């Protein structure tokens, strides 16, 4: 039987003045937010330590009676071990175009449905932020937006055309690229290009932020890489926003 966990103290970063108006302290609302993340199977980035110390995970269960939140293990066992040793964990994800963030002070190993998992104390505060740059829209398959990435430094002329899954003024997600394509978190890829339908082609630089493998129907595995734009010019940002607005109008017309 699980033993109750003491509620986490509100970490100092949650008290920063710039985040105060975005904080949620209501216990009922925090539990509701966490359950929504579980229902939507939202991917969660758990960061700790340095730039390379993170896992991409998912929330599995929230147990208010025991003040605990259950999180799936990451794909790399060595990183999971380092996470258990970390004194502070930072969680970040998106739900309906709203960024959700919270922190925890340490994690413990536990079992969940015959599998390994982490448990943390139920957060005392959650931050919800919806900013213009964070608003991501899914790109329909019919649009076939591609990002051309020169990912191999040893072959500068070699480029890979990768499907764009979603897009915002702040970044994009790439998917359906083979294992031969090595996109490394923290690496900046320059001289990329992206075609936005009738709006035209834009030149961009992207930084890979996190890489995850997903299992879909028939146990088919796909790879997805979340990226942020680097040094985006105002003119290019305007074109990207114009394309996002067009996708929104098209989606509303079909609804």
> According to the per-residue pLDDT averaged within each range, which of 74-88, 93-107, 150-164 is highest?
74-88
Q: Supply the pLDDT for residue 72.
A: 94
Residue range 53-83, pLDDT digits in tens: 889 899 999 999 999 999 999 888 999 999 9
Task: Give the list of residues 6+ apart from residue 230 with CB closer than 8 angstroms, or none.
Answer: 188, 205, 206, 207
Domains of the chain: 12-130 (2.30.110.10), 134-254 (2.40.10.220)
Which residue reads 């919800």 in tokens?
128
Quickly state the pLDDT bin for 10 (edges 50, 70, 90).
Answer: very low
Q: Are 135 and 97 in contact (CB under 8 A)?
A: yes
Model pTM?
A: 0.56
Which residue reads 């900046």 in tokens?
188
Residue range 117-136, pLDDT digits in tens: 999 999 999 998 766 556 77
Residue range 183-195, pLDDT digits in tens: 888 889 999 999 9
Choice between 3 and 47, residue whose per-residue pLDDT is larger: 47
């Amino acid at each position: 039987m699980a033993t109750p966990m003491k509620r986490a103290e509100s970490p100092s970063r949650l008290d920063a003045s710039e985040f105060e108006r975005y904080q949620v302290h209501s216990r009922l609302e925090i539990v509701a937010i966490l359950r929504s993340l579980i229902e939507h199977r939202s991917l969660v980035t758990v960061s700790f330590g340095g730039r390379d110390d993170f896992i991409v995970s998912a929330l599995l269960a929230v147990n208010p009676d025991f003040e605990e939140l259950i999180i799936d293990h990451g794909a790399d066992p060595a990183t999971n071990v380092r996470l258990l040793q970390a004194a502070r964990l930072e969680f970040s994800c998106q739900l309906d175009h709203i960024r959700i963030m919270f922190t925890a002070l340490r994690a413990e190993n536990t079992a969940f449905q015959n599998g390994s998992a982490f448990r943390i104390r139920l957060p005392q505060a959650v931050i919800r932020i919806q900013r213009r740059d964070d608003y991501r829209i899914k790109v329909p398959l019919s649009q076939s937006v591609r990002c051309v990435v020169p990912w191999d430094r040893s072959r500068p002329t070699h480029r890979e055309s990768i499907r764009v899954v979603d897009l915002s003024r702040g970044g994009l997600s790439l998917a359906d690229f083979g294992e031969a394509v090595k996109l490394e978190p923290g690496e900046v890829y320059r001289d990329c290009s992206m075609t936005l339908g009738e709006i035209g082609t834009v030149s961009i630089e992207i930084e890979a932020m996190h890489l995850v493998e997903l299992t879909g129907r028939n146990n088919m595995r796909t790879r997805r890489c979340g990226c942020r734009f680097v040094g985006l010019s105002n003119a290019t940002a305007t074109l990207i926003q114009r394309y996002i607005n067009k996708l929104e109008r098209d989606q509303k017309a079909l609804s």
